[in-house]
Amino acid sequence: MNEKKLSDRLAKVCEFVPSGAIVADIGSDHAYLPAWLILNNKITTAVAGEVVKGPYESACHLVKSLGLEDQITVRLANGLEAVKPEDNVTAVTIAGMGGSLISEILDRGYEKEILSGKERLILQPNIGERTLRLWLQDHSYKIIAEDILEEDGKFYEVIVAEKASEAPTYTEKELQFGPFLLSNQTSVFKAKWADELEQKEYVLKQLKAAKGDQSAKIEKMTQLKTWIEELI
């Protein structure tokens, strides 16, 4: 993967970036995503934020080698602290992390009022999608699109959200599987949950064999297992 050819999951994230957006790519690594967006004339300005010094230096090197210093600002910062008010960011991309970590990054940005509510959030969690959807619901972000893909034997979901005037209300099933993914159950979606079913069955077996009162966990896992069986 490089700035000329992204991985399938990052290419999917880019599909949801509006043309002409000012993008903040958080956890940008080598800054491949913002560089690709600019090289393909989808955007003209971006911020690449990275909290780890090595990837930050790699991003700086890439941006300089492509002559994009005037278009991509690379900052060493924790999460959304890479974004400044004068950036006027209109889209935030966060990809390749767990849903809990993405939620924490958004939470800090929300509490510090870095998120203005005008940004589109384009999120690609590796795991913990339910946790992320719950954060969006609790902070009045409405999910406007979702997608799912398989790459190198792993499944990835992309969740796109925008600030709403009122908090959306999702069912427990929608939080677990995704409202858009549920309404358009692709073969990839079914394949993911077929894989997940085996894991859930193992966990349920372990819970039933464990000491102590596991009834609440068993009930929750049994319900999830039933839902998955209904899907596939």
95: which strand partners?
124
Pairing verdict, β 154-163 and 120-125: antiparallel
pLDDT tens digits for range 177-219? 999 999 999 999 999 999 999 999 999 999 999 989 999 999 9
State the Cα–Cα distance between residues 83 and 73, nearest whole angstrom: 10
- pLDDT of 46 reads 98
222-229 long-range contacts, CB within 8 A, separation 24+ = 224/176, 224/200, 225/197, 225/200, 225/201, 227/173, 227/176, 227/177, 228/193, 228/194, 228/196, 228/197, 228/200, 229/197
Sheet (strand 22-26) strand order:
72-76, 45-50, 22-26, 91-97, 120-125, 154-163, 141-151
Residue type, 19: S
Cβ neighbors of 144 (< 8 A, separation 6 or more) are 160, 161, 162
Class of domain 8-170: alpha beta
Residues 6+ apart with CB under 8 A from 37: 14, 17, 23, 43, 46
Q: Name the stretches of the chain with pLDDT < 50.
A: none
What single letter denotes the amino acid at residue 55?
Answer: P
Count of H-run helices and E-run strands, the chain: 9, 7
Q: What does the pLDDT read at residue 87?
A: 97
**159 HSE (CA, 13 A, CB side):** 33
- What integer pLDDT is reported at residue 208 of this predicted model? 93
- Cα 59 from chain centre: 20
Segments making up each domain of the chain, as ranges: 8-170, 190-230
Element (H, E) at 205: helix 187-209
Whole-angstrom Cα distance, residue 101 to residue 107? 10
Q: What is the pLDDT of residue 140?
A: 97
Quote the mean pLDDT of the chain: 96
pLDDT of residue 102: 98
pLDDT score of 2? 79
- Of 73, 70, 75, 62, whose CA–CA distance to 36 is shortest? 62
